[in-house]
A = this chain, B = another copy of it.
């Protein structure tokens, strides 16, 4: 048969590149761009707060398609340095040129930790670094590195505030479908996979009516002042039931805010807010907790980047419950990967 050749203009990395470099594919950027809670918040922050950007030098950490850099350029920035380590950097360059911003935005392809910036200092660092469970992929470390290396004293980091929250849900049906499924697969016992499934937090959307308890603030991060070590932490929780129900899982989610805006702006990825591509993070408990209104599930959550794979996140939940109708005490490991 005839030879099939790729188009001349096509960037043609190998499949191996794609495994290393999932952000090279447009699909992941499509999902993020179409998350309007995410993208419109950044757009509003930039367009409605000209005083933060006008004639300022901006660094965009993890620029992707270049959308935030384009917002900043259109919003009056003097210059924007858009750093992107995936192959999407080439596409961003093409987009920026096509839209006539090549003299305002400079795309730098490479890792923030390795590139050289043509300037000594920047006035603003903007980044959409948040991963699932806030910390998955650990890009916050890269933002803090950039802050310490280039941000002018008194400069602005956007967003500058984030918090992680924990609540508890009833989830009998879905836990059965995702976890107990492995107990009998077409009649065979695959419970060793059940262990793997329990270990891995599930990124999925939770219905507000599944929530059984109040919400506990686990951690607040001040991106302007925190140290890289602050991404590892341990915090107690006390989840008080708002009704009689069963608890099958804990649910974690985060909020971000831009407190340097004229008026504080932000969004929540919680189950009571408009859904985002981050959804929520569900941690199934080994026990089913039979909880009565007013009783509390107490414990401690510990979070740290995995030692061998810092993009992964280790989570340990220790919990104790001493209720009228059930009791439990356990330490459970989870790993986001």
Question: What is the CA–CA distance of A213 and B65 in the complex, to the nearest angstrom?
Answer: 38
Question: What is the CA–CA distance of A30 and B195 in the complex, to the nearest angstrom?
Answer: 14
The answer to whether A304 and B4 have CB atoms under 8 Å apart is yes
The answer to whether B7 and A199 have CB atoms under 8 Å apart is yes
Question: What is the CA–CA distance of A302 and B4 in the complex, to the nearest angstrom?
Answer: 8
The count of residues in chain A whose C-beta lies closer than 8 Å to any C-beta of chain B is 61
The answer to whether B4 and A192 have CB atoms under 8 Å apart is no
The answer to whether A43 and B186 have CB atoms under 8 Å apart is yes
The answer to whether A65 and B185 have CB atoms under 8 Å apart is yes
Residues of A within 8 A of B (CB): 1-2, 4-7, 9-10, 12, 14-15, 18-20, 22, 26, 29-30, 33-34, 39, 43, 65, 67, 70-71, 91, 94-95, 98-99, 178, 181, 185-186, 188-193, 195-197, 199, 232-234, 302, 304, 306, 308-309, 311-312, 314-316, 333, 335, 337
Dominant secondary structure of chain A at its interface with chain B: mixed
The answer to whether A10 and B199 have CB atoms under 8 Å apart is yes
Kindly identify which residue among B10, B12, B26 contacts A197, using a CB–CB cutoff of 8 Å.
B26
- A/B interface sample: 5 pairs, CB < 8 A: A1-B302, A4-B315, A12-B308, A91-B196, A95-B193
Q: Which residues of B contact A70 (CB under 8 A)?
A: 186, 188
Question: What is the CA–CA distance of A6 and B6 in the complex, to the nearest angstrom?
Answer: 45
The answer to whether B98 and A14 have CB atoms under 8 Å apart is no
Question: What is the CA–CA distance of A5 and B197 in the complex, to the nearest angstrom?
Answer: 17
The answer to whether B333 and A4 have CB atoms under 8 Å apart is yes
Kindly identify which residue among B4, B178, B309 contacts A314, using a CB–CB cutoff of 8 Å.
B4
CB distance from A102 to the nearest CB of B (A): 13
Q: Which residues of B contact A39 (CB under 8 A)?
A: 186
